[in-house]
A and B are shown apart, each in its own frame.
Chain A
Amino acid sequence: MNTINFLEKLAHLTHNDVELNEIIKKFPDEIQKAFLKNDVALLKKELSDLKCYADEKTVVQLF
């Protein structure tokens, strides 16, 4: 299972359904680390080399 499919599957599991530590074992170390450390930046880095834009959604209107 690739990471995107895994994340999609995770979205359908409640915290009482899942032993996260167990099911992330089959993923690369960095992905495991991202989950265990709650490190979103690390997970994003592992998901894609592409830069993610759109973090700043608006700017003030100067008029």
Chain B
Amino acid sequence: MLNASLVVVGSGIKFMSHLTTEAKTYIQQSDKILYLVNDPAMKEWIQNNNPSAESLDVIYRKHPLRLHCYRAITEYILETLRQKIHVCVVLYGHPAVFSKPALDAVIQAKQEGYYAKILPAVSAEDCLFADLLIDPGSFGCQSYEATDFLIYRRPVNPSSHLILWQVGSIGLLGHASESNARGIKVLLDCLKQHYDLTHEVTLYEAAQYPHFEPRIDKFTLNCLPEAKFTKISTLYIPPAEKSICDEFMLKALEIDIEDLR
């Protein structure tokens, strides 16, 4: 029997509805729970289900820059694990998607010889595919964190789906809830190089509670600056161009283009 382990689970997006059986079991049976979730109901549920539960909120607010907070969270998870106990970390959404602290903790724990793993969960992207009726397998799908998309000038393929995360926090590396007008302006300047301003886009927020509906606001790209963003808003841009098959590849793969229609 192992004397220590680290298991990172996700609570999904919608309260309770997205909690998997294995995540629930780990939350209820681990020696120590560390959690960082964005929902008061889930916080209370975790605390009720395991008295050892400890919030990571304090560390999340400890430093002005979020990146420094994440490093502190990783270190705290590892310090707890080194007490030779079974640790379960609960994060909202999918614990490996847009969540570096737990990912880093699991990688480091494995290097130190501990049993460590991440369990899959429902991410905001999973909800988006279902709510917006999008198959990422059709046309391909590009998915970027919005600030990352801009500062690294990630390539845009207008014949694919484009998903931009955290558009409400573009360029904001700290915790302040300041205006995001400058970030949105920079984003619009970038997007209009690839899309017509009359192209319809969607601002999306998944439903966070049972029997709530997702937020799906559709508008043309030129209306982006007037849109109402929150910290969990995601921008979805549908394909604007048709994909064109490459003749050379079709021949090389011996595919008849008629069979694709």
Which A residues are closer than 8 A to B by beta carbons?
A: 3-4, 7-8, 10-11, 13, 15, 18, 20, 35, 38, 40-41, 43-44, 47-48, 50, 52-62
- Contacts A58-B98, A60-B145; A40 near B151 (Cβ below 8 A): no
Which of chain A's residues has its CB closest to B15's CB?
Answer: A7
Contact A50 to B166, CB < 8 A, known contacts A7-B15, A11-B17, A58-B145? no
Q: Contact: B210 with A47, CB < 8 Å?
A: no
* A to B contact number (C-beta, < 8 Å): 103
Q: How many residues of B contact A (CB 8 A)?
A: 50
B145 surroundings in chain A (CB, below 8 A): 58-60
Contact present for A59 and B66 (CB under 8 Å): yes
Which among A11, A41, A53 is the interface contact of B210 at CB below 8 angstroms? A11
- For residue B241, CB closer than 8 A to chain A, the reply is no
Contact residues of A: prevailing secondary structure:
loop
**B43 neighbours in A (Cβ, 8 Å):** 48, 50
Among B16, B36, B97, B215, residue most surrounded by chain A Cβ atoms (within 10 Å): B16
In the assembled complex, the CB of B37 is this many whole angstroms from the nearest CB of chain A, namely 6
- Return chain B residues, CB-CB under 8 Å to A18: 211
Interface 1/0s, chain B 52-83, versus A by CB < 8 A?
A: 00000100110001110010000000000000
Bound-complex Cα distance A26 to B211 (A): 17
Chain B proximity of A6: nearest CB distance (Å)? 10
Assess whether B39 is in contact with A44, with CB atoms less than 8 Å apart: yes
Q: Does B45 contact A (CB under 8 A)?
A: yes
The closest CB in chain A to the CB of B57 belongs to: A53
**Bound CA–CA A63/B112 (angstroms):** 25
Shortest Cβ distance from residue A59 to the other chain B in the assembled complex, whole angstroms? 5
* A35 CB contacts on chain B under 8 angstroms: 211-212
